[in-house]
């Protein structure tokens, strides 16, 4: 009997815990820009439909960016990006799973310069990375921004010698977005 | 027993934070929408066939297509440098994307000096979680501007031909794509009695990629025509081509061998008399260059 009470109590406590509205902050409109400067032409593309979650208690942060959502001015380039470089049919998403290194209190408003350590998965290849960025906490919202470089070779993205002059070997990535509190009953 | 139950319940009811974040991510990024299949073919043209692949909005595809002379047979051999001295057909084509789904193309052939104007419409797109095939519809009007001495083609109106086809393709894997194209060709006037003014033909074409930018292509048309099958004087053949396809950034090159002399359907469907068996096959190539019009190039930004 005692144990049943204990079970009920445990379940109850877990329930109320997960309903804590401010625990997760989410965004479904993360803006990610990739940019590379190459001798013949610069390459630039933007995705605006990345998904991200920030766990304010554990300071975990996760990103999921659909490769197909990157929009290029040149559609042929976009096709090559998906078909020849990123192989988005096999690896549809770029992901980052990490944790904020600084012990900041994400319930307190302010601007924080932080670094995040975790796995960056691009083209199906995971790399342990520490990436710096900034977090702006305001009542009811959190905004993040970061820029970092991704080396194509680190993620087995091969650039054929025939076209290498067109494509830089390092891609500059900028990520930004604002998060709102996650309310499970609304979604 | 109760204790086991308790342990199990605790295990279920308190997942680690990481798992919780993971499952939330899964539910948030679950994509219910269909994803269109892209790059079924690298170009809107293979060897004989047009593909379901469209020129995107604002893009202009410039194609140079060349067919040399017979490699072997009576017109081939070292005397003609295995056909390279001759050109059986040369075709220049401009194809423009009015929208992602509507393309207009204009071309000019050496063969019969044929001018052609075409509209192509992407009716259906292959999509994961959606349609298993892509369908494009093409309609082409062909006109030979110069009178020929056969008298029947003297009249302006007699030198028109019209092609309509449905191209049905499927990308089976990232390496393998196949398509078929039921085709109707209508010619206003035909030269000899018994020849059908309306010809039905079926095209079958495929591509297998060995690497991301290199593949083999094969292309075949069968013409359903009793006039051609039973003709005692002229040996008609079915056009068949084999070759390789190479993509280098903005260009697609096709290097092929084919028996038909002509490049455009309006010519090769009714008029292929050269045969692989008689050495009447030729080398040919296609160069496709894509230009982006109407949109500014991605400009360098200083936001970093």
The 3-state secondary structure of B38-88, one letter per residue: CCCCCCCECCCCECCCCCCCCEEEEEEEEEECCCCCCCCCHHHCCCCCCEE
Instruction: Kindly tell me the burial class for residue B69, based on how many C-beta atoms sit within 10 Å of its own C-beta (0-12, 13-18, 19 or more).
Output: buried
Q: Compute how many other C-beta atoms are within 10 angstroms of the C-beta atom of residue A36.
A: 20
pLDDT tens readout for residues B99-116: 999 999 999 999 989 999
Question: Which residue did the predictor score with more confidence, B285 or A164?
Answer: B285
Nearest to A46 by CA among B106, B164, B299: B299
CA distance B124 to chain A (A): 18
Test the B interface: residue of A14, A51, A55, A76 with most B CBs within 10 Å:
A76
Nearest CA in chain B to A81: B249
Closest residue to B38, CB basis, from A43, A62, A79: A79
Tell me what pLDDT residue A118 has: 96
Nearest CA in chain B to A57: B17
* Predicted complex ipTM: 0.80
Given CB atoms, is A21 within the 8 Å cutoff of chain B?
A: no
Nearest to B259 by CA among B243, B237, B244, B231: B237
Nearest CA in chain A to B171: A89
Tell me what pLDDT residue A160 has: 74
Nearest to B126 by CA among B171, B177, B85, B74: B171
User: Mean pLDDT across the stretch B187-206?
Assistant: 91
CA distance B263 to chain A (A): 25
pLDDT tens readout for residues A90-141: 999 999 999 999 998 888 899 999 999 999 999 999 999 999 999 999 998 9
Phi and psi based region of residue B55 (left: phi greater than 0; alpha: psi -120 to 50; beta: remaining): beta
Given CB atoms, is A43 within the 8 Å cutoff of chain B?
A: yes
Given CB atoms, is B149 within the 8 Å cutoff of chain A?
A: no
Residues of A in Cβ contact (< 8 Å) with B295: 73-74
Instruction: Kindly tell me the burial class for residue A155, based on how many C-beta atoms sit within 10 Å of its own C-beta (0-12, 13-18, 19 or more).
Output: buried
Residues of B in Cβ contact (< 8 Å) with A168: none
Helix, strand and coil content of chain B, in percent to the nearest 5, comes to 15, 45, 40
Give chain A's count of helices (H) and strands (E).
2, 9
Residues of A in Cβ contact (< 8 Å) with B1: none
């Amino acid at each position: 009997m005692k144990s049943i009470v204990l079970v009920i109590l445990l379940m109850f406590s877990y329930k109320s815990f997960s309903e804590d509205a401010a625990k997760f902050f989410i965004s479904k409109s993360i803006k990610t820009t990739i940019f590379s400067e190459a001798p013949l032409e610069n390459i630039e593309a933007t995705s605006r439909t990345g998904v991200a979650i920030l766990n304010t208690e554990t300071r975990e942060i996760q990103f999921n960016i659909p490769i197909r959502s990157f929009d290029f001015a040149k559609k042929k380039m976009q096709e090559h990006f998906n078909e020849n470089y990123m192989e988005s049919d096999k690896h549809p998403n770029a992901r980052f799973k990490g944790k904020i290194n600084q012990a900041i209190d994400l319930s307190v408003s302010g601007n924080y310069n932080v670094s995040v350590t975790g796995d960056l998965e691009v083209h199906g290849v995971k790399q342990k990375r520490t990436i710096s960025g900034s977090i702006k906490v305001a009542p009811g919202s959190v905004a993040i921004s970061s820029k970092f470089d991704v080396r194509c070779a680190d993620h087995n993205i091969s650039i054929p010698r025939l076209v290498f002059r067109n494509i830089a070997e390092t891609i500059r990535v900028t990520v930004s977005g604002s998060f709102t509190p996650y309310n499970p009953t609304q979604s | 027993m109760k204790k086991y139950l308790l342990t199990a319940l605790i295990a279920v009811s308190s997942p680690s934070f990481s798992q919780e974040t993971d499952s939330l991510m899964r539910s948030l990024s679950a994509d219910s929408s269909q994803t269109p299949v892209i790059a079924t073919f690298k170009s809107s043209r293979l060897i004989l066939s047009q593909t379901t692949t469209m020129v995107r909005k604002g893009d202009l595809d410039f194609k140079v297509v060349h067919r040399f002379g017979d490699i072997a047979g009576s017109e081939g051999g070292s005397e003609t440098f295995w056909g390279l001295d001759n050109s059986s057909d040369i075709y220049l084509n401009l194809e423009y994307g009015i929208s992602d789904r509507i393309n207009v193309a204009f071309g000019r052939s050496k063969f019969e000096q044929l001018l052609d104007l075409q509209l192509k419409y992407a009716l259906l797109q292959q999509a994961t979680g959606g349609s298993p095939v892509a369908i494009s519809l093409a309609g082409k009007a062909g006109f030979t501007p110069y009178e020929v001495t056969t008298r029947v083609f003297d009249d302006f109106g007699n030198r028109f031909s019209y092609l309509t086809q449905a191209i049905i393709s499927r990308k089976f894997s990232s390496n393998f794509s196949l398509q078929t194209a039921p085709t109707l060709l209508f010619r206003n006037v035909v030269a000899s009695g018994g020849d059908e003014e309306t010809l039905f033909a079926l095209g079958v074409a495929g591509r297998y990629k060995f690497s991301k930018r290199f593949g083999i292509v094969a292309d075949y048309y069968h013409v359903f025509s009793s006039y051609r099958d039973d003709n005692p004087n002229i040996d008609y053949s079915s056009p068949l081509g084999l070759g390789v396809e190479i993509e280098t950034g903005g260009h697609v090159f096709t290097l092929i061998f084919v028996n038909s002399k002509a490049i455009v359907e309006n010519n090769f469907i009714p008029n292929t008399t050269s045969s692989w068996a008689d050495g009447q096959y030729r080398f040919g190539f296609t160069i496709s260059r894509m230009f982006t019009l109407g949109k500014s190039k991605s400009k360098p930004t200083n936001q970093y």
